[in-house]
Amino acid sequence: MQPYMQKLRNWSLPAVLASAVFLSSCGEEDAGSLGKIRQQAPADTIFYVESSSEDAVSFYDPSTLSQLEMALATYNSLGIIDIETLEALRPLIINFADITAEGTEVVKVAYGLADDMASAVYFDGLYPVFQIAVTDGGELLKAAVVEIDSTLDSEPEVETVAGQEVMLWSLTYSYEIDAELKLAFVVNDDLATFAVIQDNLSDERKAEVLGMTAPSKSLASEKTLTDLNKQYDFEQTSGYINLVEIGNIVFNNESSTVGQDIETLLAENGNSINDLKVLLPGQCLAEIEQIVSSVPRLVFGATSVETSENSYDVDLKFVLELEKAELISSLTALNGHIPSFVKNASDNDDAIAAFSVGFDGKALTEALRVATSFDPAAYYDCELLQDMENPFQDAGLNQMLSVPTFDGIQGIGAVLYDLEFDEDTFDINVDALVSLAVKDADAMLSAAKLLLPIPSLYELEDGKTIDLELPLPLPIDLKASVNGDYIGVFTGEKAADAFATESSKSTNSEGIVALYADYAKVAKLAQSSLGLELIADSSSCADAYLMSASNDNLSGDIYYKDRFTKDGYESTYSMTLTSNSDTAAQPFNPVGLYKVHTQDYDCEWSLFGNEELTETDGFYDYYQESTDQCSYNRYDYEWSFDGMRLSFNETQGLVRSSCDEDWSIDEDYGESDLASYSCIVSSYSDQGFECIIFNDDGSKDIYRYILQ
């Protein structure tokens, strides 16, 4: 076996099991399984994310298994994964998908996981660690690891560390550090641990990384996650990247676990982190460290996760923490208006997409001045920092920033409700709105009348709506309106209603950027805009059809907003995913007699032939020309089905020269010509099914089977 393929197989070992983290969600107290994990993670870790949930979670879309099968087939056809490795792993992956589809309760039983499904990914110094809580001493999880190992024909080493047996798989050898990286697996104190380590680490350091000995200061002892979850209302998955500790790799490596690990590596070749420090004067190091400390962490987590059998809703929050009072004060004042048609788009379910940028124009000048200065109250002794700061202290730049270009603006927003174009008549149907929230609409309107050569603008005034007569290349009925603090340009009934609703509300200071998109509507709009049927080959048609089918099966939306708060720069995401699949709940059974259609170069369905599947064998025939009254070639086969893959092995070829002639053996179609192939069932119903063939060159063909 080639070395790189062996590495790929070894890397595959934890990947299937680690994906169980998706099913879980986090507790608030340093107790139970999660508390054990926090006790193992060093307080100075540069990265940590945890999750746990005692609630039963089950979200399943019937098309998920088909999509997984198609992903595996794509990897195979493109040569991304060796076919031998892929075929070895496939049954295990399919089995894992079947188990997870049953929900977390079944996953717990299958792998012996703890009731709270506590897990975490973090760095112990330089080394990545994945831990998950188990209840049976890890026997079921270990059996799953051994099964994967046996399937891949990969023999692990076994090493004793701190009295425990540790399984090790070789990953790669680094000539730079003269050491081999290995994947380690061990179960200790009802925690199963996967970690990447060097083979030349001391036993003491291996024990620390593998969670056999606790660090002197841990996340549990420092209550880091307890405080973080309380501060940011994280009730589910949470974590952070410690930017200060990343800086300490250089600035204070003596007190940094990751710094010491790197120092140990460099020492192998007679080097040291301290060699970097001599490149900068001591004053520069101190002042740069001070700057880094003002942005301590990037924290993230889920504030809400709700699942049902066919829907998944999650709210996520990310915060880049800031600690300079003047900067925070100036940035929070920058928050501007977020329109109701953006922030409430998900509730109304009318919009395709919406976008807004909100800012207080009056506060923009001061915010830019403060943000472009490392510390407005400081004068640096470090020449490097002086050179970086001087351009922003330039009088000309400050004068430019002080020009009240944006003074009075509070935000701009846009929403698209409909966009249709008839290629035959060149008619276009647009329903869209662009609105501007301002502090003085009259002043803004007067400026627009002076700057824009649009005669109809002179008729526009507060409380009035006019036809905006513009020389547009397409017939669009564009209108402009002013109402209170709002100026709007729109076309279409929904857009007109949205502006009327928006302009009846007071302006707000809720954020900077907000974005809404409906997945399925955006995808359908993009697909219709491409006009694939005019240019596509059969493979592109298959891609387009699969995209369309995916849009039909899954719907949902996303809402994003960022703003400045007392904690720093905050961004939030609200995502909804709903399965609309009408795929039959009963198991798929392909037995039947079918008319088979395929997509041609114009993306139109055309008759391919007939096919019959009995219990274990079957046949297909095909029409050589669309004008044929019958088929003249037929192929018998044996078939099998597992996962969502139909596999066929041809047994003989038959031929005839006329429709009323009996079939006879095709002497020109010998044993060497008999083909073996497979297709992935993408959808099925009581009328038939659709199947995708992934060819060796990466192209695809889609076949529609309709019961006769």
Ordered DSSP codes for 392-422: GG-HHHHHHHHS-TTTTEEEEEEEEEEEEE-
**The residue to which tokens 């083909």 are assigned:** 675
Q: What 3-state DSSP class applies to 558?
A: strand
**Residue 211, class by beta-carbon neighbours within 10 Å (0-12 exposed, 13-18 middle, 19+ buried)?**
buried
Percent helix, strand and coil across the chain, each to the nearest 5: 35, 35, 30
d(CA 46, CA 258): 8
**Span of 141-145, 400-404, 451-455 with lowest mean pLDDT:** 400-404
Nearest to 344 by CA among 522, 465, 505, 235: 505
Q: What pLDDT score was predicted for residue 68?
A: 82
**593-602: b or e for each residue (b if 16 or more CB lie within 10 Å)?**
ebebbbbeee
* C-alpha pair distances (Å), 565 with each of 329, 356, 446, 510: 9, 19, 35, 10
Instruction: Name the β-bridge partners of 300.
Output: 239, 318
CB–CB of 70/692 below 8 Å? yes
State which of 10-24, 311-325, 489-503, 622-636 shows the largest mean pLDDT.
489-503
**Does the pLDDT value for residue 342 go beyond 50?**
yes
**Does the pLDDT value for residue 589 go beyond 70?**
yes
Q: What pLDDT score was predicted for residue 269?
A: 74
**577-590: b or e for each residue (b if 16 or more CB lie within 10 Å)?**
bbbebebeeeebeb
d(CA 659, CA 556): 51
CB–CB of 341/355 below 8 Å? no
Q: What pLDDT score was predicted for residue 95?
A: 84
Distance linking the first and last C-alpha atoms of the chain: 48
**Does the pLDDT value for residue 405 go beyond 70?**
no
Handedness of CA 538, 539, 543, 546 (dihedral sign): positive
Nearest to 15 by CA among 206, 139, 185: 185
**pLDDT tens for each residue of 35-87:** 999 999 999 999 999 998 876 555 555 567 787 888 888 777 777 677 777 77
**623-648: b or e for each residue (b if 16 or more CB lie within 10 Å)?**
beeeeeeebbbbbebebeeebbbbeb
Which pLDDT band, with edges at 50, 70 and 90, does 2 fall under? Answer: very low
* List of domains in the chain: 3-60+102-226 (no CATH), 322-579 (no CATH), 592-707 (2.40.128.530)
Tell me which amino acid residue 613 is.
Answer: L
d(CA 654, CA 648): 16
Q: What pLDDT score was predicted for residue 319?
A: 97
Q: What pLDDT score was predicted for residue 278?
A: 67
Q: What pLDDT score was predicted for residue 525?
A: 83
CB–CB of 624/634 below 8 Å? no
Q: What 3-state DSSP class applies to 22?
A: helix
Q: What pLDDT score was predicted for residue 62?
A: 58
**The residue to which tokens 């990914």 are assigned:** 121
Give the pTM. 0.81
* C-alpha pair distances (Å), 199 with each of 177, 206, 300: 11, 9, 33
Which pLDDT band, with edges at 50, 70 and 90, does 378 fall under? Answer: low
**Span of 138-152, 361-375, 536-550 with lowest mean pLDDT:** 361-375
Q: What pLDDT score was predicted for residue 104?
A: 81
Q: Phi and psi for 616 in degrees, rounded to 5?
A: -130, -15
Tokens of 449: 């009348």
Instruction: Name the β-bridge partners of 47.
Output: 241
State which of 22-36, 84-98, 300-314, 494-508 shows the largest mean pLDDT.
494-508
* C-alpha pair distances (Å), 418 with each of 429, 508, 522, 529: 7, 27, 10, 13
Mean pLDDT of 233-253: 89
CB–CB of 505/540 below 8 Å? no
Handedness of CA 581, 584, 586, 590 (dihedral sign): negative
Tell me which amino acid residue 375 is.
Answer: D
d(CA 568, CA 373): 17
Instruction: State how beta strands 617-622 and 633-642 pair.
Output: antiparallel
Q: What pLDDT score was predicted for residue 499?
A: 97
Element (H, E) at 193: strand 191-198
Ordered DSSP codes for 280-346: S-HHHHHHHHHHHHTS-EEEEEEEEEEE-SSEEEEEEEEEEE---HHHHHHHHTTBB---HHHHTHH
CB–CB of 509/337 below 8 Å? yes
**Does the pLDDT value for residue 25 go beyond 50?**
no
Q: What 3-state DSSP class applies to 145?
A: helix
Which pLDDT band, with edges at 50, 70 and 90, does 400 fall under? Answer: low
**Residue 63, class by beta-carbon neighbours within 10 Å (0-12 exposed, 13-18 middle, 19+ buried)?**
buried
d(CA 346, CA 315): 13
User: To the nearest whole percent, how much of the chain has pLDDT over 90?
Assistant: 44
Q: Phi and psi for 35 in degrees, rounded to 5?
A: -65, -40
Mean pLDDT of 313-332: 90
Nearest to 342 by CA among 415, 273, 268, 255: 415
d(CA 152, CA 87): 10
Mean pLDDT of 243-247: 89
Rounded mean pLDDT of the chain? 83
**Does the pLDDT value for residue 656 go beyond 80?**
yes
**Span of 82-91, 161-170, 343-352 with lowest mean pLDDT:** 82-91
**pLDDT tens for each residue of 536-573:** 677 778 877 777 777 677 788 999 999 999 999 999 99
Q: What 3-state DSSP class applies to 69?
A: helix
Which pLDDT band, with edges at 50, 70 and 90, does 368 fall under? Answer: low
Q: What 3-state DSSP class applies to 584?
A: coil
Q: What pLDDT score was predicted for residue 75?
A: 78
**386-414: b or e for each residue (b if 16 or more CB lie within 10 Å)?**
eeebeebeeeeeeeebeeeeebbbbbbbb
CB–CB of 122/43 below 8 Å? no
Tell me which amino acid residue 168 is.
Answer: L
**Does the pLDDT value for residue 28 go beyond 60?**
no
Q: Phi and psi for 162 in degrees, rounded to 5?
A: 50, 40
Q: How far out from the chain centre does Cα 3 lie?
A: 31
d(CA 120, CA 131): 5
Mean pLDDT of 254-278: 80
**pLDDT tens for each residue of 164-187:** 999 998 887 666 656 788 999 999
Mean pLDDT of 346-363: 87
Q: What 3-state DSSP class applies to 380?
A: coil
d(CA 685, CA 182): 48
Say which residues have a Cβ less than 8 Å from residue 5's Cβ, sequence separation at least 6.
Answer: 82, 85
Q: What 3-state DSSP class applies to 493?
A: helix
Q: What pLDDT score was predicted for residue 372?
A: 57
d(CA 679, CA 77): 12
Which pLDDT band, with edges at 50, 70 and 90, does 530 fall under? Answer: low
Q: What pLDDT score was predicted for residue 285?
A: 76
Mean pLDDT of 648-676: 94
**pLDDT tens for each residue of 94-139:** 888 888 877 788 889 999 999 889 999 999 999 999 999 999 888 9
Q: What pLDDT score was predicted for residue 64?
A: 73
Q: Is 502 left (phi over 0), alpha (psi -120 to 50) or beta?
A: alpha
User: To the nearest whole percent, how much of the chain has pLDDT over 70?
Assistant: 83
* CB atoms inside a 10 Å sphere around CB 234: 23
